Chains A and B, each alone.
Chain A
Amino acid sequence: MIPKRDKQRIGQRLLDGFREAGAVEVAPDLLLPAETLLDLYGEDIRARAYVTTDPIRGEVMLRPDFTVPVVQMHMSGGAEPARYCYLGEVFRKQDMGDTRPENPRDNEYLQCGFELFSREAGADAETFALFYHQLAGYDLTAETGDMGLLLDAVRGLPLPAARCDALLHHIWRPGRFQRLLDRFSAPPRSRDFAAGAVPWAGLRGEDEMAARIARLQSDGAEPALPAIWSDRLSRLFAVRDIAPLALERLTELATEVPAISEAVSRIADRFAHIARLGIDPATIIFDASHGRHNMEYYDGFTFSFLSRHADWPPVATGGRYDALMAVLGKGRAIPAVGGIIRPGLIAELEAGQ
């Protein structure tokens, strides 16, 4: 067991690194209003966060992550562009399955993070390079992805808007996404909505059902998506290699899927920028499906730094979350990218060396 004091010290050192990069330290509350977080993340967060009630403030949550409170802090009066850093604890319940794990993961741990709110094109590369340099020497593997690439590929499918929206909505849920894609790729199928004599009940309106039935009926008449498209998507989702080779594959795929051309050149620019910041792109993995298994949070560039310990969570994670900013910003959104390092895991790595 490494004393928390030692983990704190490593956190302070990482915080210094972020400060030197021009970030202003902020200290968000530990108890956060639950409503915003629940609305954003749904039941996933209720299962993982400690929720309690305050007689006046209602449901409150022990801070499950820093991003939302930092964004809210910025929205209520920060100047732009802005660089913030922070160090503190987050709390996550670890609900086990049928058997109790031998080494349960921490339910309380430190995060040291950096968030950059900026319209500059180089923000992704700047953030990634900052994390890369902070974590140099720990023998970690950097993996990256880009949700924008996948979202663009889906937007480019020859599908009516309703089908396209459904696929975009479920891109973070691979199983459901695949079922939808399979259904859209199958021949038209009409469904019977036999009228019954059952009285209407509940808050969902009869008009809402009528609208959905109309949508399903017009959808049922849609021709099947040609098989070549789901084949192209699965080849795109499977791209995983060191960045220069992955970029070659993506460039080839862009000749078949023109909708990703812009994203591919954006990714190429990003790696060129990262190279200019002194990092060899051949040391970075690009995985097109990286970021698909997270919460609906990152919608652009994503990154994580992994240790050799297969059962560990990533030592650091981050990415771009413009859509989250748009939701929380209520009209005055600014592009945002950021991430966190877990000082506790760095402490373990140092102790193991």
Chain B
Amino acid sequence: MIRLGVPSKGRLMEQTFDWFAARGVRLSRAGSDREYAGRVEGADGVSLVLLSAGEIPRELAAGRIELGVTGTDLVREKLPGWASDLAEVAPMGFGHADLILAVPECWRDCEGLDDLASIARDFRAVHGFRLRIATKYHRLVRAWLAQHEVADYQLVDSQGATEGTVANQTAEAIADITSSGATLQANNLKILAGEPILRSQATLFANRAAMDGGMRKFLAQLGVAATDGI
């Protein structure tokens, strides 16, 4: 049995259902909208598990589901060494979001990462502590800033309403996921120029250990050849 984990609500669930429907596999909730059981039609040996999108990486890595739909950002942030356990089977073309660094729009002297590095150095000298970047993506942001040799900063944890931390003076900059940038704009923040930390989209992941004949057959039916060395 292949257990397929899919986000349990919202647009992400609907678009996932559409993606599978376009490939001849009909996914649906069983019973009412409030029930988290699911039904699969058009494929044998596959069951549907509805989960919070944030839990799908962990469930995949633990082997409690064999296939799962979640954002590349969540997999990379939550699973150190993820590529040893999971294979990226297919990018699904929706749920696009970039993990970006944003600073107050009023900082006219800050365009890119070089400016931020220089501002961080000045900030530390003036205020006696390191410039604070609010985020929930600690590993990704830290690795990115280390790779670009930015020092003189510290991460502060923010699990929600991250865009508000600058106005509340609990952070000087933020690193967060954005799709349209509207929330950033509304909070007078601007995105740093240059490449984002990560370009994320909804992606079908498979547990490498579950790559048997049944899985290959199902993936072939979906038209996604099992490449990526699996």
Interface residues, chain A, with chain B CB atoms under 8 Å away: 38-39, 42-44, 46-47, 95-101, 166, 169-170, 173-176, 179, 193-196, 198-206, 208-209, 211-213, 216, 296
Contact = CB atoms under 8 A, between A and B. Distances in A.
A198 B131 CA distance: 21
A97 B83 CA distance: 9
B205 to A, nearest CB: 13
A198 B186 CA distance: 11
A189 B117 CA distance: 19
**Count class of interface residues, chain B:** 35 or more
A242 B152 CA distance: 36
B81 A43 contact: no
B109 A201 contact: no
Given A95-B139, A99-B84, A202-B167, A209 B107 contact: yes
A213 B108 contact: yes
Interface of B: 76, 80-85, 104-109, 114, 117-119, 121-123, 126-127, 129-131, 139, 142-143, 145-146, 148-155, 166-167, 169, 172, 188
4 smallest CB-CB distances across A and B, nearest first, come from A100-B81, A173-B149, A100-B84, A176-B149
Nearest to B129: A39
A128 B75 CA distance: 46
B127 A203 contact: yes
A199 B154 contact: no
B142 A43 contact: yes
A166 B118 contact: yes
Contacts of B151: 42, 44, 173, 296
B83 A98 contact: yes
A55 B166 CA distance: 28
Contacts of A198: 104-106, 188
A328 B169 CA distance: 29
A93 to B, nearest CB: 10
Contacts of B80: 95-97, 100
B167 A43 contact: no
A247 B127 CA distance: 43
- Most chain B C-beta atoms within 10 Å of own C-beta, residue among A166, A169, A213: A169
